[in-house]
Amino acid sequence: MDQDGRNSACREVLNKLLENADGQLDVNRLKIQSSKRHHLKVLPKNSEILSLASRLEREKLLLPASQK
């Protein structure tokens, strides 16, 4: 499996989530779409996606909506 393609797919999902942090997105759908674009055989795990996020990005994603 190409690690660069996997990281690119994870970062793509992460960026879309950050762009719409206050909205409702289907994370699995984002992972499927990104995996197809990057020709991955296995969907990235949520933990893989979060591992690429900076501390500030993680806080933005994980804070309850009422605190954003």
pLDDT per position as a tens digit, 24-67: 889 999 999 999 999 999 999 999 999 999 999 999 888 766 56
Token pair, residue 8, equals: 């690119």
**Domain count for the chain:** 1
Name the strand (E) or helix (H) holding 3: helix 3-19
C-alpha dihedral sign at 36, 39, 43, 46: negative
Average pLDDT over residues 3-32: 90
Query: What pLDDT was estimated at residue 25?
Result: 86
Q: What's this model's pTM, rounded to 2 decimal places?
A: 0.83
**What letter represents residue 48's amino acid?**
E
**Backbone phi and psi for residue 23, each to the nearest 5 degrees, phi listed first:** -105, 180
Range of the domain at 17: 3-67
